[in-house]
Amino acid sequence: MSGALQIFSLYRTICRAHRMLPEPMKSLGDAYAREEFRTHLRSKNVSVKQWQEFVSGWSGYVRSIQGEGDDLISGDLDQDVLEALSPEQQQQLERLKDEALKMKFKNPDRYNQ
């Protein structure tokens, strides 16, 4: 499978995996994935190694949503992962955290099971 086909296939897999999430999380996950894939596809400065890491990271994300493998969703990132993020990625992560917390506090019973 060519690189572009692999990327689009992974994106479709992510969107299908999001179908099992509650609606606020599904919408947030779809929007986040769409933006990340667009940003990477439009960038002319993404190296092959970065693409490999991108695909690996999103593949692990899909496995964690589907409950497969050792990739369990804990909500915590390793310190070395946090330190490796660019300032833009750190800002995006903070915005994502804020949105997730807003959803949790709008409907606390739904997320405290």
Domain extent listing, the chain: 3-111
Positive/negative CA dihedral, 20, 36, 77, 94: negative
Query: Among 9-13, 18-22, 73-77, 79-83, whose mean pLDDT is lowest?
Result: 73-77
Residue 25 in contact with residue 103, Cβ under 8 Å?
yes
pLDDT the model gives residue 111 = 47
pTM score? 0.63
Q: pLDDT digits over 88-97, tens only?
A: 888 888 887 8
**Using H for helix, E for strand and C for coil, what is the string for 48-84?**
HHHHHHHHHHHHHHHHHHHCCCCCCCCCCCCHHHHHH
- Is a pLDDT exceeding 90 seen at residue 81? no
Three-class SS state of 43: coil
CA distances from 88 to 51, 82, 84, 102 (A): 18, 12, 11, 21
Helix axes 23-42, 3-18, angle to 10 degrees: 170
